[in-house]
Structure 1
Amino acid sequence: MLQIHGVLDLIFWVLSIAAFAMSAWALFHAVRTSARAFAVAGKQSKKFWLIVLGLAALFSFASAVGYFGVGLGQLNIFAIAAVIAAGIYLADVKPAVGEVGRGGNSGPYGPW
């Protein structure tokens, strides 16, 4: 017989893996982006975002492995804060710093 508790654990584990993937992707992008791009875009410094996203990746990883008896355990407030931090970076900061390196004379299909 299918147990609801087992299905919910599986769903929350998959959500924890997704939260870690999102945090890791944001951290990878922040590492690759130059510090100058953050300043030109008017966002917080690269150092700030590396610390925030590093902690987000750490806490979301601890939440994901917590389902195996190691780490923080269930989806908790730190994992939720990690998703929020990574979401803010990916929705607001990433597009702003991505615009910095592009030239102004590009057409709809690339540079002229």
Structure 2
Amino acid sequence: MFQQYALSGILINGFSNILSWITLAVLVFEVFAFVDVLFRRTDAFPAVDKQTKPFWMIILGLAVAVSIIPIGGFLSSMLVLLGLVAAIVYVVDVRPRVRAVTPSRKNKKDNTHMGPYGPW
């Protein structure tokens, strides 16, 4: 009898640890998406026929806030899931198109800011 309770306690603790790691991974992914949208140009979003930058900032900011603030319950779980879906949509669909429109600093071969000892 004692072994059964001990085994179930171990399983519950292990499952709780796995859920904690998944929750942390979701939060990190949502923060990545939010920070990425902050550094994108505002005019690039309408150029690729996507929602505006403020729209994505609000949606992803709310997703991060819901993931950080522990409300508990079914509603909180659903909001976290919706935030994860929004972050996935941004990273998979919107981000590649916006990146394709904006010029990259690494590939830019512009010599207009060259000094006698290199770029400035």
Q: TM-score, normalised by structure 2?
A: 0.74
Matches within 5 A, 1:30-45: 30-45=37-52
Deviation at 1:61, TM superposition (A): 1.8
SS state at 2:51 partner? coil
Residue-pair matches, total: 98
Structure with max Cα Rg: 2
Structure 1 gaps of 5+ residues are: 63-70, 104-109
C-alpha deviations, 1:9-60, integer Å up to 9, x for none? 1111111101110110000010000110101111000110000000011112
Matched, 1:9 2:16: yes
Percentage of matched positions with identical amino acids = 27
SS state at 1:33 partner? coil
Deviation at 1:89, TM superposition (A): 0.3
RMSD across aligned positions (CA) = 2.0
Deviation at 1:111, TM superposition (A): 6.7
Change (3 A) 1:111 1:87: same
Whether the aligned pair in 1 keeps the contact of 2:41 and 2:102 (CA below 8 Å) is no
Ranges of 4+ aligned residues in structure 1 off by more than 2 Å: 72-75
Q: Aligned equivalents of 1:9 and 1:96: distance in 2?
A: 38
Q: TM-score, normalised by structure 1?
A: 0.78
Q: Aligned equivalents of 1:53 and 1:101: distance in 2?
A: 21
Deviation at 1:102, TM superposition (A): 3.2
Q: Tell which deviates more after alignment, 75-84 or 36-45.
A: 75-84
Whether the aligned pair in 2 keeps the contact of 1:17 and 1:61 (CA below 8 Å) is no
